[in-house]
Amino acid sequence: MEQKSAFITIIGRPNVGKSSLMNKILGQKVAIVSNKPQTTRTRIMGILTKDETQLVFIDTPGFHKPRNELDRNMNKAVGDGMSDVEVAVLVIEAVTQFKTEDNVLPPAEAELINELKRRKLKAVLVINKIDLLPQKDKLFDIITNYTSHFDFEAVVPLSAKTGDGTENLLSELNKFSKPSPHYFDKDDVTDQPEKVMVAEMIREKLLRSLDKEVPHGIAVDLERFVERDTANGEPIVEVEATIICERDSHKGIIIGKNGSMLKKIGMLARKDIEKFFGIKANVKLWVKVKEDWRNRQGLIHTFGLD
Ligand SMILES: Nc1nc2c(ncn2[C@@H]2O[C@H](COP(=O)(O)OP(=O)(O)OP(=O)(O)O)[C@@H](O)[C@H]2O)c(=O)[nH]1
Ligand SMILES: [Mg+2]
């Protein structure tokens, strides 16, 4: 059988469910998810190989107005994710679209659509979170509005949460695969090294447990990551990481009363890490302040965010 493949970028404003959608399609969690905007910080590949066809998804950070160097790097990752792909999937949220006036696109979506046009890129529109939509007839207005601004190859309403509609998206995307050798091994699901995935699992727990501006100013620096056998011959993965935050007050919040928050984060991360590797894990966490690291390219580089 002749091999086929397609590169597919997933773009959209923060928090619309891009990473959730990719995870659902892959049937495995490769990108972290939280209810805070700007969860994804770099391009993350997710690979789906079925018989002769390999679809390579590129999950990108939510496109937003930059406020610091890290934001600028994140927006650049969106642009980079749009080069050399067969098709883009523009994800929007069903519910928030009603707030917009007739025939006017919200700024983030308008800018992304301009970018699609500039690059002459084909695109599929995904209207996510339809499980939250009380009246499905509202979809018609959203579709009319978006298709008046761009000639989408297809429009697919779906729910990344329930999986409703994701099969329709896959059959649309399969049409873009073209004869080419596979770029990844058939068992690969992501391009992220294990070390990066572990650091991300820890960051996800911070995003989910902390409020307001604290989690956005956090980076996780994985200092030790080894697998070894314990005295009784059982394999165990040892993880030691430093959580970098921007202020002393944030450090206090992350550690919590008598260390309770840090303990909780470590416990939640340990569970995910154990599930991922299928063996026991030991997680040790520290917290360090590095003021304004999100504006310091050197530190952004150190944390692998460029
Ligand atoms: N109800 C509902 N919630 C969803 C759906 N898809 C995603 N979510 C939720 O929306 C929030 C954001 O999901 P993410 O997948 O992190 O969104 P994202 O677009 O990757 O966000 P950024 O990485 O910040 O750009 C999370 O709380 C998800 O659980 C859906 O279909 N229905
Ligand atoms: Mg994301």
Angle between helices 260-277 and 194-209 (to 10 degrees): 140
Checking if the pLDDT of 130 tops 70, the result is yes
Residue 81 alpha carbon to ligand 2 centre in Å: 13
CB 39, CB 18: distance < 8 Å: no
What is the rounded average pLDDT of the residues 132-160?
A: 92
Residue 111, judged by CB atoms within 10 A of its CB (0-12, 13-18, 19+), counts as middle
**Cα-based distances in Å from 284 to 209, 240, 242, 251, 280:** 17, 5, 9, 16, 14
- Select from 3.40.50.300, 3.40.50.620, 3.20.20.70, 3.30.300.20 the CATH code of 194-302: 3.30.300.20
Tell whether domain 4-179 is in CATH 3.40.50.300: yes
What local confidence, expressed as pLDDT, does residue 71 receive?
94
Which pLDDT score, from 0 to 100, does residue 102 have? 66
59 CA distance to ligand 2 middle (Å): 7
| Confidence check: pLDDT of 100 > 80 | no
The model's pTM is 0.95
Give pLDDT, residue 188.
Answer: 96
What average pLDDT does range 62-91 have in this prediction? 94
What's the whole-number mean pLDDT along residues 103-131?
Answer: 94
20 lines ligand 1 (CB under 6 A): yes
pLDDT band at 306 (very low <50, low <70, confident <90, very high): confident
CA-wise closest residue to 60 among 90, 25, 94, 34 = 90
Q: 258 C-alpha vs ligand 2 centroid, how far in Å?
A: 32
Which of 11, 13, 15 for a ligand 1 pocket mutation test, highest count of atoms within 8 Å of Cβ? 15
Q: Is the dihedral of CA 271, 274, 280, 285 positive or negative?
A: negative
Ligand 1, atom 21, lies closest to the CA of: 15
Tell me the CA–centroid distance for residue 20 and ligand 1, in Å: 6
- Tell me the percentage of the chain whose pLDDT exceeds 70: 98
Confidence of residue 66 (pLDDT cuts 50, 70, 90): very high
pLDDT digits (tens, 9 = 90+) for 20-31: 999 999 999 999
Adjacent-strand bridge partners of 228: 236
Q: Is residue 198 within 8 Å of 32, Cβ to Cβ?
A: no
What single letter denotes the amino acid at residue 241?
A: A
Residue closest via CA to ligand 1's atom 7 equals 17
Radius of gyration of the CA atoms of the chain, in A: 20
Least confident of 92-101, 159-168, 187-196: 92-101
Q: Is 19 in the pocket of ligand 1 (CB under 6 A)?
A: yes
Checking if the pLDDT of 176 tops 60, the result is yes
**How many Cβ atoms are within 10 Å of 90's Cβ, its own excluded?**
27
- List the chain domain ranges: 4-179, 194-302
- pLDDT band at residue 45 using 50, 70 and 90 as cut-offs: very high
| pLDDT of 67 | 93
Cβ proximity of 125 and 113 under 8 Å: no
Q: Whose CA is nearest to atom 17 of ligand 1?
A: 17
pLDDT of residue 98: 57
State the chain's mean pLDDT as an integer.
94
Asked whether residue 243 carries a pLDDT value surpassing 90, the answer given is: yes
